[in-house]
Amino acid sequence: MKIKEMMKFAWDNYRQYALGKNELRPLSRNGHIGNMFGGLRGATVIDALDTLYIMELEEEFQEAKQWVEKSFDLNVNGEASLFEVNIRYIGGLLATYYLTGEEVFKSKALELGEKLLPAFNTPTGIPRGWHELELGLGISWKQHLGRIWDLAPGIPAPLRALWQPSVRNIRRVLSRVEKPQGLYPNFLSPVTGSWVQRILMLCKMTEHFSPDCTFHLSSFLKSNAASSPQEAGKRKERTRALTRTCSLYIMNLKLFSAFPTTDHVSIGGLGDSFYEYLIKSWLMSDKKDSEAKKMYDDALEAIEKHLVKKSAGGLTYIAEWRGGILDHKMGHLACFSGGMIALGAQHGPEERRQRHMELAAEITSTCHESYTRSDTRLGPEAFRFDAGSEATATRLSERYYILRPEVVESYMYLWRLTHDPKYRHWGWDVVQALEKHCRVESGFSGIRDVYTTTPTHDNMQQSFFLAETLKYLYLLFCEDDVLSLEDWVFNTEAHPLPINHTDFKAACLTAIPSSLKLLDLGSAFPLITAKLCGPGGWNIFVHSCDILVTIGSFSNLGEKKSLSEQVVKTENVVSKFLPS
């Protein structure tokens, strides 16, 4: 198969010129490290592992495995993006473990997961965006909504008891917050709940927090009582405008303060993974996490009502919302939504299923148009529907293509769920365009302008090209039983993780092992979750997508108890601010 050859070509050149670095620079034939991963190396190795295995590139897979065994050093010192480390490193290692059963991948995932755990030590459990891997310190108090949801799913049972209260608080925050047009903010505070958030939007908040991040309601009330009626009226009006405009979640909030940094709503970059993981969390729970399903259904209803638009030329797209004004723009990252909506459509009433499948097909068709309307037949980073423009980039800064996967991701889902041959035809067009415009002598490179037949290259073979783009193209042309959607869910980096088809309610009634040291990722997994998390806890996140943390290496229950007490303490802090 041609796509398999492309994967081998991409891997062979990475191995030859950049093995151990994070990405290959194919034009200069050297490696790129970057600053996203806090000193971690080998992002392409970890991202490529499961793709190599799925494609049965056995020799190449063994090369990657050997590097993980002998050269993957976790004793690093640097500031890492918690989101990127989770979706690529944890996701890649965990997926490969589930595919192969080989312990090296699990042990590395556990070791790395434990290094990331301190980032969750915040009052609500919402993690910090950047994390110092050596010291366990959070660097940034600003966290993207989509990045948060990438972290919350996927923590297997052993350590879930330590952070489950935080997960519950996150959901309480999300369920209670008033949101413009029914969507969620891109940034959330690790302290505030919805009721507190409404108050905080009326003031400059930080003066009412103590050093331990506790919000002092009395301080707030005192300062606002001294405000003039005119100023209080202005603040009240601003709050109403932000929180009641059609009920959508604001995209950007400062951590701790919950004050909006921008009044921006989108399903593209910064928030996309959140919506994706709502439906996927439900699927991974064997369809028992009803809370996640309801949140997904409500959010999609708001998207349909307020963001889905049709252009003059009949193209359906999902706009963005900025301060109450629609921005008729759709990013390449938002093109994943066709596949997400199609996946979610399989699990609802027939009328809604049909409507959502039509919507998924229309959005995917629009993203396809963004490809076919370029000279390279590859899509731009973003495209617009204004000033006579239809599915084209009107700004120079949006004309590039960096080997992104979202469009072919939707092709794969729509093919699997409809078997309409056009999706394979469209996918093959992408294969040919990649070969013609992105393949260079020593790998694949992104291009700077999709609207020229002789584009210049950006000299970067992204790790996600091997993890996602080539994997989704390969699966598009495979039989449906290769990573069946009935049994596997893909994280946002296309790393497959198995759906747990266990009866969790029955597991709740079963006794658990007396020693937490015996806990593992095996068959006792759901049983332990049910018992340790308590009633209702079993169905919150089951065997899900990204961060893997475990208590397996802890030597005694005393350490576990200490961490649990921290979580309970922070839960109690937040509970004070949430209405009963």
Look up residue 398 and give its two tokens.
């949006």
Catalytic-role residue among 23, 50, 60, 84: 84
Q: Which residues are annotated as a binding site?
A: 492
In angstroms, the Cα distances linking 51 to 56, 136, 246, 405, 459 are 8, 31, 42, 14, 22
Q: Is 272 a catalytic residue?
A: yes
Look up residue 164 and give its two tokens.
């489950």
What 8-state DSSP symbol labels residue 248? P
Cα(394)–Cα(377) distance, integer angstroms: 16
Look up residue 355 and give its two tokens.
């409507």
Query: Among 61, 59, 53, 146, which residue's Cα sits nearest to residue 95?
Result: 53
Q: Is 498 helix (H, G, I), strand (E, B) or coil?
A: strand
Phi and psi torsions of 481, nearest 5°: -80, 0
What number of H helices and E strands is found in the chain?
Answer: 22, 18
Phi and psi torsions of 43, nearest 5°: -60, -40
Is residue 408 within 8 Å of 476, Cβ to Cβ? yes
Alpha-carbon 364 to chain mean position:
20
Query: Among 388, 389, 383, which residue's Cα sits nearest to residue 407?
Result: 383
Query: Among 366, 504, 392, 503, which residue's Cα sits nearest to residue 450?
Result: 392
Q: Which residues are annotated as a binding site for Ca(2+)?
A: 492
Query: Among 168, 153, 160, which residue's Cα sits nearest to residue 497?
Result: 153
Element (H, E) at 313: none
Look up residue 452 and give its two tokens.
């020229």
What 8-state DSSP symbol labels residue 16? H
Cα(80)–Cα(116) distance, integer angstroms: 10
Q: Is 69 a catalytic residue?
A: no
For residue 377, which amino acid is it? Answer: R
Query: Among 316, 278, 338, which residue's Cα sits nearest to residue 472?
Result: 338
In angstroms, the Cα distances linking 90 to 111, 138, 516 are 10, 18, 22
Alpha-carbon 400 to chain mean position:
22
Catalytic-role residue among 406, 468, 546, 571: 406
Helices of type H across 315-468 = 337-345, 350-372, 406-418, 422-433, 463-464
Catalytic-role residue among 381, 390, 458, 546: 381
Is residue 429 within 8 Å of 16, Cβ to Cβ? no
Is residue 276 within 8 Å of 492, Cβ to Cβ? yes
CB count within 10 Å of CB 246 equals 16
Q: What sign for the dihedral angle of Cα 481, 482, 488, 493?
A: negative
Is residue 561 within 8 Å of 172, Cβ to Cβ? no
> Which positions are annotated as active-site residues?
84, 272, 381, 406
